[in-house]
Amino acid sequence: MNSIEVRQDFPILNQEVNGHPLVYLDSAATSQKPRAVIEVLKRYYEADNSNVHRGVHTLGSRATEAYELAREKVARFINAPSPEQVIFTRGTTESLNMIAYGYARLQLKAGDEIVLSPSEHHSNLIPWQQVAKVTGATLKYLPLQEDGTLTLEDVRQTVTPATKIVALAHVSNVLGTIHPIKEIAAIAHAAGALMVVDGAQSVPHMPVDVRDLDVDFLAFSGHKMCGPTGVGVLYGKRKWLEAMEPTYFGGEMIDIVELYDSTWKDIPWKFEGGTPIIAGAIGLGAAVDYLTKVGMENIQNHDMRLATYAMERLSELSDLTVYGPKPGKTRGGLVTFNLGQVHAHDVSTVLDAEGIAVRAGHHCAQPLMRMLGVISTVRASFYLYNTEADVDALVHGLLSAKEFFQHAIG
Ligand code: PMP
């Protein structure tokens, strides 16, 4: 994979910001879109736009075919046993809420346990808090090692026969830690619990095979994997999806409607009430085609190589605290750090003046920030279109920030 050639596929990258070539290091927040995806969206709206699963006219059939083909593509991408196990949602947040509301809220009771890690994104934390409040189930947190990793021994100690759900991010959006989901799923299953995986930061960056990992549910977002905003996926094992209640009731998701009761379509359509995310799903199908062509293993190796290079280069800078797995340990394609006591927003403002886009803040992980003893951090995240030169620009920008804030760093 040649990231300099890959860059040519992303028109947005070819611009200057504040008088400097754009260096986009915020793909963990949202990725940029290749021309192939933009073109598919344009073609869909120019030639095929119509509602799906309804009319019998030609455009309606074309749109329906394209929408359902996108489902097949996504199913193949994650090695789902069947396309019906792929539900199009608005994104990871909605997918996780659907599991919490449609499954956990109805199945759990007082005395049951939900096991989480303290480094979860708020979207894999607050829905479970809500489930616990309504059902009387309790939340239990796995202890995190200093570098943000989990030990299987701690998982074995924490998961008990009372555990009904283990819900974890595959890759932490703050620390870049990659959790051993396959091994954790095996522990969860041995205790009779379901494994729910937040794949927002893994599915875009590495091959994810739901059958190999043997997860019960997987949630991810299209916009972080070269697809459009507004579309995401909920994958589930058939038996759980069949047991799960829809979240949205109305048009499209019904079988028979009577005045006082109704029945639902089969999976996946019972979960897609109303006009579905047609263009979004078709765009996500195009993104999956694009990523498959580049090769997910190539992308994973590339992102990890850049993160390793970034760790090396950042270690040259004094006054920088880098969080997460230490150099030499496996991490996803991102680095998170602070410059002395300087607020992350200030560091990010100086970087922006040099055309460098990074994320600054609590990254929707306030409990983790508290554990790290900070209120915010700076995060640089890499994707297939980033190069070593982008990391060099980041280091240059950080040297400028150091100079600018010398008094505060002291
Ligand atoms: N989980 C993780 C690990 C994430 O990084 C994100 C996005 N920052 C989400 C969940 C939420 O994704 P979305 O906003 O697309 O629903």
User: The CATH number of the domain where 260 resides is what?
Assistant: 3.40.640.10
Instruction: Report pLDDT for 295.
Output: 98
- Is residue 88 within 8 Å of residue 281, measured between CB atoms? yes
Taking only the tens place, the pLDDT of each residue in 277-336 is 999 999 999 999 999 999 999 999 999 999 999 999 999 999 999 999 988 788 899 999
Q: What is the pLDDT of residues 96-129, one digit of tens each?
A: 999 999 999 999 999 999 999 999 999 999 999 9
CB distance 119 to ligand 1 below 6 Å: no
pTM over 0.85? The answer is yes
169 CB within 6 A, ligand 1: yes
Segments of 93-244 assigned E as strands? 113-116, 138-141, 163-169, 194-198, 217-221, 232-236
Instruction: Give residue-wise pLDDT tens across range 137-158.
Output: 999 999 999 999 999 999 999 9
Mean pLDDT (the chain) is 96
pLDDT of residue 54: 78
Assess if residue 180 is contained within a domain. Answer: yes
Expressed in angstroms and rounded, the spacing between residue 61 Cα and the centre of ligand 1 is 33
Q: Strands, E, within 37-181: which ranges?
A: 86-89, 113-116, 138-141, 163-169
Nearest atom within ligand 1 for CA of residue 363? 8
Q: Which of 221, 223, 366, 377 to mutate to test the pocket of ligand 1 (most atoms within 8 A of CB)?
A: 221
DSSP state string for 273-312? -SS--HHHHHHHHHHHHHHHHH-HHHHHHHHHHHHHHHHH
Residues 201 and 112 in one domain: yes
Positions of E strands within 187-261: 194-198, 217-221, 232-236, 254-257
pLDDT tens digits for 27-80?
999 999 999 999 999 999 999 999 998 778 999 999 999 999 999 999 999 999
Report the CATH number that the domain containing residue 359 is assigned in CATH. 3.90.1150.10
- In Å, the largest CA–CA distance within the chain is 72
> Cα–Cα distance between 409 and 402 in angstroms, integer?
8
Residues 332, 208: Cα–Cα separation, whole Å: 13
Contact 184, 165 (CB under 8 A): no
Q: Looking at the structure, do residues 61 and 173 belong to the same domain, yes or no?
A: yes
Amino acid letter, 44: Y
Residues 49 and 110 in one domain: yes
178-206 pLDDT per residue, tens: 999 999 999 999 999 999 999 999 999 99
As a whole number of Å, the CA-based R_g of the chain is: 22
Domain that holds residue 132: 37-293
Q: Tokens 């309804």 correspond to what residue?
A: 54
In a domain, 312, yes or no: yes
Alpha-carbon span 155 to 141, nearest angstrom: 10
Are residues 260 and 315 both part of a single domain?
Answer: no
203 and 330, same domain (yes or no):
no
CA–centroid distance, 20 to ligand 1, in Å, is: 29
CA distance 244 to 267: 10
Using DSSP's 3-state secondary structure scheme, residue 164 falls into strand
205 CB under 6 A from ligand 1?
no
Say if 286 falls within a structural domain.
yes
Q: b or e along 224-246 (b: 16 or more beta carbons within 10 Å of the residue's beta carbon)?
A: bbbbbebbbbbbbbeebbeebeb
Nearest to 395 by CA among 323, 300, 312, 324: 312
Instruction: State the burial class of residue 2 (Cβ atoms within 10 Å of its Cβ: 0-12, 13-18, 19+).
Output: exposed
Burial 17-36 (b: 16+ CB within 10 A, else e): eeeeebbbbbbbbebbbbee
The reply to whether 253 and 322 lie within a common domain is no
Predicted confidence (pLDDT) per residue in 294-305, tens digit: 999 999 999 999
Strand, helix or coil for residue 102: helix
Choose one of 259, 293, 327: the last residue of a domain.
293
- For ligand 1, say whether the CB of 117 is within 6 Å of any of its atoms: no
Rounded CA gap, 268 and 197, in Å? 19
Chosen domain end from 262, 293, 324 = 293
Which candidate in 96, 197, 342, 364 is catalytic? Answer: 364
Based on the fold, state whether residues 254 and 398 are members of the same structural domain.
no
Domain count, the chain: 2
Does any ligand 1 atom lie closer than 6 A to the CB of residue 222?
Answer: no
Whether 85 and 50 share a structural domain: yes
What's the mean pLDDT in 247-253? 95
Structural domain includes residue 200: yes
Confidence (pLDDT) at 410: 60
**Would you call 226 a catalytic residue per the annotation?**
no
Mutate to test the pocket of ligand 1, among 121, 125, 128, 208 (most ligand atoms within 8 A of CB): 121
Q: Answer whether residue 1 is part of any domain.
A: no
Residue 386 region by backbone torsions, left for phi larger than 0, else alpha for psi between -120 and 50, else beta: beta
The last residue of a domain, from among 227, 258, 293: 293
**If you take atom 8 of ligand 1, which residue's CA is the nearest one?**
29
CA of 354 to the centre of ligand 1 (A): 27
For residue 177 and ligand 1, the question of a CB distance below 6 A is answered with no
Strands 359-361 and 356-357: unpaired
CA 1 to CA 6: how far, in whole Å? 8
d(CA 208, CA 200): 11
Residue 171 CA, closest ligand 1 atom number: 3
